Amino acid sequence: MSAAGPQPRRDSARSREALLAAATALFSERGYDRTTIREIGERAGVDASLIARYFGSKPLLYVEVLRAEHGDDAPDDLLTATRLRDVARRAERRGPVPLLRVAVEPLRDAAAQQATRAALHDRLVTPLRIRFEQEGRDRPGLRADILVAAVSGVLLARHSGAFDDLADAEVDEVVDVLTDMLGAPERADVPWTDG
């Protein structure tokens, strides 16, 4: 009887890891919107209902994918061309992900809203706020919020059907224009200037 006790835990850990790996692969291959919970379960070889048990919801699973991919490393801020390019390419590959969506409209699920908002701030807003504080700029939090909202809006608008040139441009072209408009340096240790 005692030998059976640890088995479910090992299976739980295995199932959770399989779901995380499957979600990571499918979000990268198909994008967030085109990936269903059922497909994640099938790819993982487990019941898709376990997503609710281990992660809470699809948006929360996405937040966990982000954590697993990036760990606790502090990312460069969006005012470095390499970071902006990385964020834009991920958004292009995965589609309108919760991390960008939460910047322009609330998610329906309160827990997903809170977790995704926290991830948005950790990954995008806070590094910019810190940069602006270090540069002695006034209202660093407001500056960071506005810049992240603007970049999120541009990346989401590529798929809205409202902007022909934006939709037709390659993602690297969009980043080049954004970098030029923002005056973003290539590296994080280079001060940003207002042109």
Q: What is the pLDDT of residues 106-130, one digit of tens each?
A: 878 788 888 889 989 998 999 999 9
Any residues with CB less than 8 A from the CB of 24 and at least 6 apart, and which? Answer: 65, 68, 69
> CA neighbours within 13 Å on the CB side: how many for 173?
7
pLDDT band at 66 (very low <50, low <70, confident <90, very high): confident
Q: What is the pLDDT of residues 14-56, one digit of tens each?
A: 999 999 999 988 888 887 878 899 999 999 999 999 999 999 9
High-pLDDT (> 90) share of the chain, % = 45
Residue 86's identity, in one-letter code, is D
Q: What is the per-residue pLDDT for 113?
A: 85
Which has the closest alpha carbon to 123: 49, 70, 161, 180?
Answer: 70
Nearest residue to 97 via CA among 165, 23, 178: 23
Domain ranges of the chain: 1-54, 71-195
Backbone phi and psi for residue 158, each to the nearest 5 degrees, phi listed first:
-60, -30
Q: Judge residue 138's burial from the number of C-beta atoms within 10 Å of its C-beta, 0-12 exposed, 13-18 middle, 19 or more buried.
A: exposed
The fold for domain 1-54 equals Arc Repressor Mutant, subunit A (1.10.10)
Query: Interhelix angle for 140-157 vs 171-182, to 10°?
Result: 150
What pTM did the predictor assign? 0.75
- Whole-number Å distance between alpha carbons of 116 and 147: 18
Residue at 147: amino acid letter: L
Provide the percentage of residues in the chain whose pLDDT is more than 70: 86
Residue linked to tokens 């995965």: 94
